[in-house]
A and B are shown apart, each in its own frame.
Chain A
Amino acid sequence: MLNSAAARLGQSLRETQDALQRDNLESSASIINCVGGTNGDIPTEMTISDVDDVFTVLQNNSGEYITNIVEAELRFGTSPIGDAYGCMLTTRMIPTLYNMTGFIKKFQYPNISQTLSVEIGGANNVRFFASEQGSVSPNASMLGNDIANCFVSAKEAYKVVWQAGGKARFIYLPPGYNNDPCMLRHTAGCSFYQGQCITNDLWIQNLRSTGI
């Protein structure tokens, strides 16, 4: 029972850390609207021209790649992936990406040994990592549709600051604590301290897209 609770608490803790970092980037990153789409909204749905635009912005800003090229191999149905920046986005963007010209799904990579499970694919020089906790601004487009905040990051664009002694702590209290005079209840909890900051505002861009 305690092991099960600890596992769930661990998941909760890590997801909380992700949510904090997501909220930090959502509030503080520079903004580029997708404009290459055809849905009539601002921002539009993401297209390959928008991906290339944000790639160019990061290149102009001397942003360093996060991943190296995935070279072509003699395998049917695969395509190489260039040196890439990382894009963190909501899973609601998956259909838009799958419909995007030039998007290469992860299973079409020549080699998937250097990928993460949350990676869904790449397009030219950006690789996409999806989470159901990805950032969405409800009703925030020009026409009132939901916007996906897709954070395209170069290396070392932001960081997480750990306070000494503030890393994840599992706290178990046996019965008898917290107004429990009859010793009926165990409690388990976790705590941590975490600070976020953007180290260089030029190296991370919020590429906003509708179509989700």
Chain B
Amino acid sequence: MLPFSFIGSWSYTNPATPVAVNIPMTAKPDWFFVKDTTNWGAQSTAANPIYAEWFSATMAQGSYLALGQPSSTGAGVTTYASQGTSGGFTFIDQTNPPTFTKVAVTTVNGTTFVVATANTTGINVGDFVRLINVVGAQQISGSNLYQVTAVSAGVSITLGFAASAASAGLVVANGTTGFYQKVYPGFFLPNTLPVAYITQATQAVVYFFRQNPYTPGELVDFQIPTPYGMTQLSNLTGKSGSGPFSSNPSGAARVLSVVNSATVSSITIDVDTTGFTAFQFPTSAAFAGGASPAVCMPAGSGVVPLNGSATIPASPPGTNLADAFDNRSQYVMNIGLSAVGVANANMQVFAFKADFVNGITNA
């Protein structure tokens, strides 16, 4: 039995178009509420909700109770009190995250990576999805996670990081029917990531399907299966002259610079790939016939470069501490769009843990 406790208080400000908000928690709350401190009592315009809450005892994940506020003229809000079973509060243990049902897609554009689907419920920019059994594009189906960069409600989601890789050279045929599924990723960082594309350059640029965890100075290694071409970049940590990759360079690649923008995820490494075999994704049929993913994995700490230089270290020189293995999983309360509040509102959040939670059956 845990003693009653006030877990904490948080605040956030909604943008012009509100998005779901994740609140980090130290425990699963039994009572959680969020209150609009901007519009509370200001009746010049209607606001819904200005208050929303969730109880652990009787409410399911994703549900909510909410209060709206009518304008002084009574226009706008027609429902003062409301409740719902989705778009509310969802508690997430990132070590054991919930799973989501898969959703049908009708097409996947292999260049723009716009995924056409009639159902975008619960999908927000920044979410992670995987693609399942995409006919004609099985090479992008499976365990790989893609980050959503745009959502057109009820029409499509856009996987902008993949599209940026396609602009750089990733070639994937258009897919037809299949599924997407929302996924909460793991939070052990730095982690292994599937590679989307690698350029042939004196300092190769490696593209990913989602934002990457790597940092300048970090050492990384690769496992590039034969169908992907650039096998010369595999097993760099191994000793040159031994094993099946005897002509590969020896020593892990050093990350010189990192890009993690809204739609581009890449690292530049200190390996000259101009003479290497071109990197290419296998075809859909070749992948379905049996293939492993091309991956980049963390391989140690190196000297931090000066502004991306391959030869000049940062001044004062130092090694990279930001690349240490770190478990960043935590408890999170996700506040969905039905509870997160209205545009531009300052929202105050409170969470409590109960001493006991009982249902009285014979009072």
Q: What residues make up the interface of A, taking CB atoms closer than 8 Å to B? A: 19-20, 23-24, 26-33, 35, 42-44, 60-62, 137-144, 147, 178-180, 185, 195-198, 200-202, 208
Contacts and interface: CB of A to CB of B under 8 A. Distances in A.
9 contacts: A28-B192, A139-B130, A142-B138, A143-B132, A143-B133, A144-B133, A198-B298, A201-B237, A202-B235
Nearest to A56: B244
B223 A139 contact: no
Contact of A140 (B142, B243, B291): B142
B259 interface: no
Contact of A139 (B132, B235, B238): B132
Given A139-B130, A143-B132, A195-B325, A28 B142 contact: no
A30 B288 CA distance: 20
B133 A201 contact: no
B291 A144 contact: no
Given A31-B223, A141-B142, A201-B298, A185 B188 contact: no
Contacts of B238: 60-62, 202
Interface stretch (B1-9, B62-70, B161-169, B312-320): B1-9
Nearest to B192: A28
Given A27-B188, A185-B1, A35 B290 contact: yes
A173 to B, nearest CB: 11
Interface string B3-22: 11100000000000000000
Contact of A144 (B102, B242, B287): B102
A28 B235 contact: no
A138 B329 CA distance: 18
A188 to B, nearest CB: 12
A10 to B, nearest CB: 20
Contact of B239 (A24, A62, A201): A62
B95 A23 contact: yes
A98 to B, nearest CB: 23
Contacts of A180: 3
B188 A35 contact: no
A142 B141 contact: yes
B243 A33 contact: no
A29 B297 CA distance: 7
Contacts of B188: 23-24, 26-28, 196
Given A31-B295, A42-B291, A60-B243, A147 B143 contact: yes
A154 to B, nearest CB: 13
B240 interface: no
Interface in B141-195: 141-143, 179, 181, 186, 188-192
Interface in B206-244: 221, 223, 235, 237-239, 242-244
B100 to A, nearest CB: 9
B149 to A, nearest CB: 22
Nearest to A19: B95
A27 B133 contact: no
B265 to A, nearest CB: 17
Contact of B292 (A32, A140, A141): A32
B235 A61 contact: yes
Given A28-B325, A142-B287, 17 more contacts: A26-B186, A28-B297, A30-B223, A32-B223, A42-B142, A44-B290, A60-B235, A60-B238, A60-B243, A60-B244, A62-B242, A140-B142, A141-B142, A143-B141, A147-B143, A185-B3, A198-B298
A147 B143 CA distance: 9
Contact of B143 (A30, A35, A140, A200): A140
Contacts of A200: 237
A15 B229 CA distance: 41
A28 B244 CA distance: 23
B293 interface: yes
Interface string B120-135: 0000000000101100
Contacts of A27: 186, 188-189, 191-192
A139 B181 contact: yes
A143 B237 CA distance: 33
Interface string B323-346: 011010100000000000000000
Contacts of A142: 132-133, 138, 141-142, 287-288
Contacts of A42: 138, 141-142, 287-288, 290-291
A48 to B, nearest CB: 15
Contacts of B132: 139, 142-144
A141 B287 CA distance: 12
Report, nearest first, the 7 A-B pairs whose CB atoms are least far apart.
A35-B290, A27-B188, A27-B191, A140-B143, A144-B132, A60-B243, A33-B292
Given A42-B288, A62-B239, A200-B237, A30 B142 contact: no
B291 A23 contact: no
B99 interface: yes
A24 B191 CA distance: 8
Contact of B192 (A30, A43, A195): A30
